[in-house]
Amino acid sequence: MIKNEIILSMAPVRGITDAVYRKSFAHCFSGFDYAIAPFIQLRQGHSLRLGERLQMSIENNREIRMIPQVLTNHAPTFTAGLRELHELGHDEVNWNLGCPYPTVAGRGRGAGLLPHPDRIDAILNQVLNRCPVRLSVKLRLGYGDPDEFQAVFKVLNRYPLAEVILHSRTADQMYGGSVDLERAALAKTLCMHPFVFNGNITSPDKFCELRARLPDVDRWMLGRGALICPSLPAVIKGGELPAPEKRRSQLREFHDLLFEGYRNMLSGPSHLLDKMKGHWEYMALSFAEPGTVLNRICDSHSPEAYAKSAYWIFSQPLSR
């Protein structure tokens, strides 16, 4: 499958696709042209926290181009955040208009702004007036109403945006249910900016199916599909899926880099184990018996027990 002309991005997945993940991924796998980082929630009157600055620093993001993402509905806070990220060396930032969680969306941030194109307009008007960076937007079809995107796109078309990423679900759907391809096709025709499709790209076959339905789309964002099978972006770009032995050794190397990276970054064994358990929610699905794999990980209560479990897991067969 030769798809050299397409552009692939790594989706932001909070708690998972952080700086350690992106660096380890780039060491072991290929296929992504850039990554959008999980959101930073900007706080009125506060600068970025130390941990956020470390996540965003150019130094910690040399291996793959990374675009920071921010969550806010307050124009002055937005502007201050963009300036800070520019000072850190970034020339592009993504605005989150898709987060569905009630604590965010219920307070008019993330997907909570989608029913209010007038508010989006007012914020962009103030922020883009003297903006030091390029801005892109990641959004859903709507909060509850899947046609809200139409009015939002009319607003977005009036501003110079780097790209518009559509996760083709409503916020009510959270991360389940089907992605709406008819509305995604309509969104592509309405969008005057480079358009990125996101949602449920889980295999090379699925990608071909989506490509046939959305033939004019050339930018694609992969989330959970690539977390489960990190070879997926390279295969979509035309590579061969490595043989099982090779895949297992790549996964093992990737895992070991993650473990080492977090051991150097996090304080205390429980933080380390919790972090790794989060990754196993996805990595376990690469194995023939994901339930057994997860149980082994969850039953590991010290880094030593964890290391033994990981050793055993990487002797187990992969799913396909």
Ligand X SMILES: Cc1cc2nc3c(=O)[nH]c(=O)nc-3n(C[C@H](O)[C@H](O)[C@H](O)COP(=O)(O)O)c2cc1C
Part in contact with ligand X (CB under 6 A); list of ranges 19-27, 223-231, 252-260, 289-297:
223-231
Per CB under 6 A, does 232 bind ligand X? no
Binding mask 101-140 for ligand X (x = CB under 6 A): -------------------------------------x--
Q: How far apart are CA 195 and CA 179, in angstroms?
A: 16
Kindly tell me which residue out of 73, 200, 286, 300 binds ligand X, with binding defined by CB under 6 A: 200
**Cβ closer to ligand X: 111 or 248?**
111
Determine the size of the site formed for ligand X (CB under 6 A): 20
Q: How far apart are CA 255 and CA 245, in angstroms?
A: 15
Query: Pick from 265, 270, 221: which is nearest to 8 by CA?
Result: 221
**Cβ closer to ligand X: 138 or 255?**
138
CA distance to 34, 201, 223, per residue, from 2 (Å): 19, 17, 21
Kindly tell me which residue out of 222, 228, 236, 284 binds ligand X, with binding defined by CB under 6 A: 222
Per CB under 6 A, does 309 bind ligand X? no
Q: How far is the CB of 243 from ligand X (least distance, A)?
A: 25
CB of 198 closer than 8 Å to CB of 206: no
CA distance to 135, 137, 253, 261, per residue, from 22 (Å): 21, 21, 14, 11
Q: How far apart are CA 71 and CA 67, in angstroms?
A: 13
Per CB under 6 A, does 230 bind ligand X? no
Kindly tell me which residue out of 9, 55, 61, 69 binds ligand X, with binding defined by CB under 6 A: 69
Angle at 90 between CA 87 and CA 96, to 5 degrees: 110
Handedness of CA 175, 109, 11, 153 (dihedral sign): positive
**Cβ closer to ligand X: 11 or 248?**
11
Kindly tell me which residue out of 199, 204, 230, 233 binds ligand X, with binding defined by CB under 6 A: 199
Part in contact with ligand X (CB under 6 A); list of ranges 47-55, 219-227, 232-240, 308-316:
219-227
Q: How far apart are CA 187 and CA 25, in angstroms?
A: 31
| Strand ranges (E), the chain | 7-10, 34-41, 66-71, 92-97, 134-142, 161-170, 195-198, 219-222
Task: State the alpha helices, DSSP H only, in 29-65.
Answer: 50-56
Identify residues 15-44 at the interface with ligand X (CB under 6 A): 38-39
Per CB under 6 A, does 153 bind ligand X? no
Q: How far is the CB of 13 from ligand X (least distance, A)?
A: 4
What is the contact surface with ligand X in residues (CB under 6 A)? 11-14, 38-39, 69, 96, 98, 138, 167, 175, 198-201, 222-225
